């Protein structure tokens, strides 16, 4: 059984490593500019899954597995992999211009939480649960207050990965728009007019 | 950066400021504009949901600037929360041109009876209803001026609440609309309703350097890439700059109006891009930084002469804040109910409906509500085309959070098998003692100045009127084939339509401004955003704010010319 009152995940040993890595990434991002980072997030999702500075290896595996449960390859439109949802998530959760930083932290904490629950209830990592049992496991997670909130936050980011401009790494080859017969607004954003550029103007950060 | 003394210094650059900037620059006066936000140009605006709605890059960061909002809980007890904690803010657009850059631009005039609400409909217990100190006839020439100078498109058709006009029609022809516009007209006829075209502050033909609307697919909440939308920046400030008499200082956050021993303002203080304190002098000062921040600035500007804030020796600044009352509703029209031809037309990326029902601006056929009472406006529209709000509507089925294949099926159905049509209702948000602005005693902004504390009370009468209008709107919605109709009429204010807080009127004891929007207590301070409005009418405020600002501009030019003539004689 899942304890509904347990809403805060335990810290994993790797969290301190992750924090150090994240700080390194953010520092690098500030030095290099977010635009150089986005190339990484859009172009090499496979490499990101095995090696990124935002999540540790276990978190990356949990994220990849969760995304394909929440947005599966089921013959109805693109899957999470098809739209590069993983790459989009990695960009989104390291975005320190996002005014809702706690939302980013919450996503990462939830990855640890869901895996801890898998070990507790299934005696294995979440990503090692047989594929045909993973949805049922998420169904159980969603019965808890924390689990429902976390899955809801994941779905919101998935919507962004599916429907925002491909400029931000998701919606690869406009697969989300094409699937839903959506016509975007015009003109579309460009690299020079990414949201970070405008947000820095709003926050009076010199560029 | 010049430190010369200006004829006029304007705090803010939105709809309340633009006409002053435009008219005084053209009249040859030296104009300085202090705008808190950055100076975004037309080329900076794209149809990027990330920028406009997902990450809110056009408004301040709540960690830097926030409000404290006071509301009633379900048991009727007042509680206060910082917007930094709730995440739901009261900002609308912080950049040159202000929130007018992002408006939907439904331009309805007030009706003559709106100017004498108390005289026409009598008092309502618990509401501070008053008549305006000016009449519709005094403002009418300025509505006409807005239509011509800023550019309003539409078509005047007769209806029983049509206001008197000095011109037969709008200067720009109506914008192209979706086929559902015709269905709404027919749906209204079945009920005996007279649905007529709604005017928009969006040009349909070229004007000056502005290009007409090209139907970009994303409009409300997004900046305009052709300058068709009548933002203060595109329609007025850009022309004022061409005169050479206007200087814009973006990234300049005004925090104090300093007065001399005579009680006149001598200078304003602001934080520049680097958060350094700067000051500037002028003969006349205009404050127009939207109702909440305008009241806050006056309250923050304390001195020996004004210990409770400038212009506030009678304690009226911040009182009687109002919003646009009413609410909205929506329903789906499923494509399988339509012919192939109608489906193709309805599903085309053409988002304007521009149809409005004004038959109930005054309600005289609902005895259960009273013999005769003030009603409001019903606009019909299609849901915004940007996809994220549609996705959020697909996230749940009932109370069940969807994911996996069930979520994908719901998304596919929502996006490809139906389209949601909407109605929006505008009625008076009655002014009360429970809706106002003060300074919070503990919460500060990033400059360590007290933030505005906004008490958000409403009058139950607003909901009665709103629900009556919603019932009429939903009859039409059903007639056009909408199903799953929902309604949201409640006391939560639309935070993009704010007015009041510095009422104008003839009595200095009960109002902040005189009929020309000059502070009763300060000889060189004017307020020209929506703050002046003692009641808001049953329409969005923007058109009236523009018109009133043009009216005040004439008063200012007259005054400055008189001063100049006197000086030349002297």
User: Cβ of B55 and A98 within 8 Å?
Assistant: yes
Q: Is the pLDDT of residue A134 over 50?
A: yes
pLDDT tens for each residue of B58-113: 999 999 999 999 999 999 999 999 999 998 899 999 999 999 999 999 999 999 99
For CA atoms B394, B398, B401, B404, the dihedral sign is negative
User: Cβ of A99 and B273 within 8 Å?
Assistant: no
β-strand pairing of B450-456 with B68-72: parallel
State percent of chain A over pLDDT 90.
Answer: 69
Residues of chain B found within 8 Å of residue A141, distances taken between Cβ atoms: none
Element (H, E) at A134: helix A131-142
Binding-face residues of B in 310-349 toward A, CB within 8 A: 347, 349
State percent of chain B over pLDDT 90.
Answer: 96
Residues of chain B found within 8 Å of residue A72, distances taken between Cβ atoms: 404-405, 408
Q: Which of B49, B60, B87 sits opposite A202 (nearest CB)?
A: B60
pLDDT tens for each residue of B274-327: 999 999 999 999 999 999 999 999 999 999 999 999 999 999 999 999 999 999
B531, B549 in Cβ contact below 8 A? no
User: A206 in the Ramachandran plot: left (φ > 0), alpha (ψ -120 to 50) or beta?
Assistant: beta
Residues of chain B found within 8 Å of residue A184, distances taken between Cβ atoms: 47, 217-218
H, E, C per residue of B8-59: EEEECCCCCCHHHHHHHHHCCCCEEEECCCCCCCHHHCCCCHHHHHHCCCCC
Query: Could you tell me the pLDDT band of residue A45, with boundaries at 50, 70 and 90?
Result: low
Q: Residue B408 is encoded by which pair of tokens? A: 């994908």
A175, B382 in Cβ contact below 8 A? no
Query: Could you tell me the pLDDT band of residue A164, with boundaries at 50, 70 and 90?
Result: very high
User: Cβ of B408 and A77 within 8 Å?
Assistant: yes
Give CA–CA dist A93/A89, Å, rounded. 6
Residues of chain B found within 8 Å of residue A71, distances taken between Cβ atoms: 403-404, 407-408
User: Cβ of B64 and A203 within 8 Å?
Assistant: yes
H, E, C per residue of B96-120: CCHHHHCCCCECCCCCHHHHHHHHH
pLDDT tens for each residue of B313-372: 999 999 999 999 999 999 999 999 999 999 999 999 999 999 999 999 999 999 999 889
Facing residues of B501 across strands? Answer: B319
Give CA–CA dist B353/B179, Å, rounded. 8
pLDDT tens for each residue of B464-473: 999 999 999 9
Q: Which of A182, A190, A199 sits opposite B415 (nearest CB)?
A: A182
H, E, C per residue of A21-44: HHHHHHHHHHHHCHHHHHHHHHHC
**ipTM greater than 0.85, yes or no?**
yes
Interface probe, candidates A99, A100, A139, A189, chain B, greatest B C-beta count within 10 A: A99
Closest CA to B37 of B316, B352, B293: B293
B155, B192 in Cβ contact below 8 A? no
Closest CA to B92 of B83, A33, B503, B283: B83
Mean pLDDT of B203-207: 98
Q: Which of B48, B217, B222 sits opposite A183 (nearest CB)?
A: B217
User: Cβ of A180 and B387 within 8 Å?
Assistant: yes
Closest CA to B407 of B421, B418, B396, B422: B396
For chain A, how are helix, strand and coil distributed in percent, rounded to 5? 65, 0, 35
* Residue B447 neighbours by CB under 8 Å, 6+ apart: B253, B255, B271, B275
Query: Could you tell me the pLDDT band of residue A3, with boundaries at 50, 70 and 90?
Result: very low
Q: Which of A69, A154, A187 sits opposite B47 (nearest CB)?
A: A187
Between the two ends of chain A, the Cα-to-Cα distance in Å is 52
Q: Which of B58, B87, B407 sits opposite A202 (nearest CB)?
A: B58
Q: Where are the domains of chain B?
A: 6-569
- Closest CA–CA distance from residue B377 to any residue of chain A (Å): 29
Interface probe, candidates A142, A198, A203, A205, chain B, greatest B C-beta count within 10 A: A198
User: Cβ of A187 and B251 within 8 Å?
Assistant: no
State percent of chain B over pLDDT 70.
Answer: 99
Q: Is the pLDDT of residue B115 over 90?
A: yes
pLDDT tens for each residue of B404-459: 999 999 999 999 999 999 999 999 999 999 999 999 999 999 999 999 999 999 99
Interface probe, candidates A96, A100, A141, A204, chain B, greatest B C-beta count within 10 A: A204
> For the packed helices B460-479 and B180-189, what is the interaxial angle rounded to 10 degrees?
100
pLDDT tens for each residue of B510-530: 999 999 999 999 999 999 999
Query: Could you tell me the pLDDT band of residue B570, with boundaries at 50, 70 and 90?
Result: low
Query: Could you tell me the pLDDT band of residue A48, with boundaries at 50, 70 and 90?
Result: low
Q: Residue A169 is encoded by which pair of tokens? A: 């790494």
Q: Residue B279 is encoded by which pair of tokens? A: 């000051």
Q: Is the pLDDT of residue A127 over 50?
A: yes
> How high is the pLDDT of residue A6?
36
Query: Could you tell me the pLDDT band of residue A46, with boundaries at 50, 70 and 90?
Result: low
Mean pLDDT of B205-213: 97
Is B379 strand, coil or helix?
strand
pLDDT tens for each residue of B124-174: 999 999 999 999 999 999 999 999 999 999 999 999 999 999 999 999 999
User: Cβ of B47 and A199 within 8 Å?
Assistant: no
Q: Which CATH number fits domain B6-569: 3.40.640.10, 3.50.50.60, 3.40.250.10, 3.40.109.10?
A: 3.50.50.60
Q: Is the pLDDT of residue B6 over 60?
A: yes
Closest CA to B377 of B537, B487, B491: B537
Mean pLDDT of A4-14: 35
Contact status of B53 with chain A (Cβ, < 8 Å): no
- CA–CA distances in Å: residue B130 to residues B376, B511, B548: 18, 11, 18
């Amino acid at each position: 059984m899942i304890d509904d009152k347990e809403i805060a995940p335990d810290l994993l040993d790797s969290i301190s490593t992750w924090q150090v890595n994240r700080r390194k990434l953010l520092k690098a991002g500030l030095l290099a500019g977010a635009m150089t980072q986005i190339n990484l997030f859009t172009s090499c999702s496979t490499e990101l899954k095995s090696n990124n500075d935002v999540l540790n290896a276990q978190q990356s595996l949990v994220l990849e597995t969760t995304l394909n449960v929440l947005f599966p390859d089921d013959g109805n439109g693109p899957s999470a992999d098809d739209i590069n949802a993983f790459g989009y998530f990695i960009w989104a959760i390291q975005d320190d211009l996002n005014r809702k930083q706690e939302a980013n932290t919450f996503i990462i904490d939830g990855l640890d939480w869901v895996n801890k629950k898998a070990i507790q209830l299934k005696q294995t990592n979440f990503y090692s649960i047989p594929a045909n049992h993973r949805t049922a496991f998420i169904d159980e997670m969603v019965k808890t207050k924390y689990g429902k909130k976390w899955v809801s936050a994941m779905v919101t980011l998935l919507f962004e990965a599916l429907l925002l401009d491909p400029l931000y790494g998701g919606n690869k080859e406009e697969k989300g728009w094409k699937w839903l017969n959506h016509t975007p607004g015009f003109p579309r954003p460009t690299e020079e007019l990414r949201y970070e550029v405008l947000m820095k103007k709003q926050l009076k950060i010199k560029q | 950066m010049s430190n010369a003394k200006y004829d006029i210094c304007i705090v803010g650059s939105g709809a309340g400021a633009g006409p002053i900037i435009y008219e005084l620059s053209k009249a040859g006066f030296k104009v300085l504009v202090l705008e808190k936000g950055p100076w975004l140009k037309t080329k900076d605006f794209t149809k990027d949901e990330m920028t406009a709605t997902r990450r809110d890059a056009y408004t301040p960061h709540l960690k830097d600037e926030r409000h404290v909002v006071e509301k009633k809980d379900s048991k009727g007890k007042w509680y206060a929360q910082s917007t930094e904690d709730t995440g739901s803010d009261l900002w609308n657009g912080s950049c040159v041109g202000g929130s007018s850059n992002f408006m939907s631009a439904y331009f309805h005039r007030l009706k003559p009876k709106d100017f004498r609400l108390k005289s026409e409909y009598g008092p309502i217990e618990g509401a501070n209803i008053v008549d305006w100190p000016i009449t519709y006839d005094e403002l009418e020439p300025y509505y006409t001026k807005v239509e011509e100078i800023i550019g309003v498109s539409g078509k005047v058709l007769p209806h029983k609440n049509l206001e008197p006009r000095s011109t037969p029609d709008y200067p720009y022809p109506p914008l192209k609309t979706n086929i559902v516009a015709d269905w709404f007209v027919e749906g209204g006829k079945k009920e005996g309703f007279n649905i007529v075209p709604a005017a928009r502050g969006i040009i349909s033909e070229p004007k000056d350097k502005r290009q007409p609307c090209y139907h970009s697919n994303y409009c409300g909440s997004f900046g305009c890439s052709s300058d068709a939308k009548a933002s203060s920046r595109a329609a007025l400030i850009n022309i004022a700059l061409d005169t050479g008499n206007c200087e814009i200082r973006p990234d300049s956050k005004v925090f104090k109006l300093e007065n001399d021993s005579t009680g006149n303002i001598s200078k304003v203080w602001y934080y520049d891009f680097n958060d350094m304190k700067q000051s500037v002098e002028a003969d006349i000062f205009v404050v127009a930084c939207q109702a909440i921040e305008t009241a806050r600035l006056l309250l923050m500007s304390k001195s020996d002469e004004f210990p409770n804030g400038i212009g506030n020796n009678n304690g009226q600044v911040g009182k009687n804040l109002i919003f646009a009352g009413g609410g909205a509703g929506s329903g789906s029209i499923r494509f399988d109910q339509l012919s192939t031809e109608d489906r193709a037309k309805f599903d085309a990326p053409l988002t304007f409906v521009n149809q409005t029902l004004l038959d109930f601006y005054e309600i005289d056929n609902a005895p259960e509500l009273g013999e005769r009472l003030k009603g409001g406006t019903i606009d019909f529209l299609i849901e915004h085309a940007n996809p994220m709000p549609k996705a959020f509507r697909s996230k749940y089925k009932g109370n069940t959070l969807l994911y996996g294949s069930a979520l994908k099926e719901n998304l596919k159905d929502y996006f490809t098998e139906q389209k949601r049509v909407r109605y929006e209702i505008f009625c008076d948000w009655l002014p009360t003692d429970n809706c106002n602005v003060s300074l919070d005693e503990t919460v500060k902004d990033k400059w360590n100045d007290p933030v505005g504390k906004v008490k958000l009370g409403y009058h139950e009468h607003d909901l009665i009127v709103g629900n009556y209008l919603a019932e009429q709107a939903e009859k039409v919605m059903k007639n056009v084939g909408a199903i799953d109709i929902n309604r949201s009429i409640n006391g939560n204010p639309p935070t993009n339509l704010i007015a009041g807080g510095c009422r104008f009127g003839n009595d200095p004891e009960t109002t902040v401004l005189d009929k020309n929007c000059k502070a009763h207590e300060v000889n060189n301070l004017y307020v020209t955003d929506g703050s002046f409005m003692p009641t808001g009418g049953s329409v969005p405020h923007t058109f009236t704010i523009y018109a009133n600002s043009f009216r005040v501009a004439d008063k200012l030019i007259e005054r400055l010319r008189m001063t100049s003539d006197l000086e030349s004689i002297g």
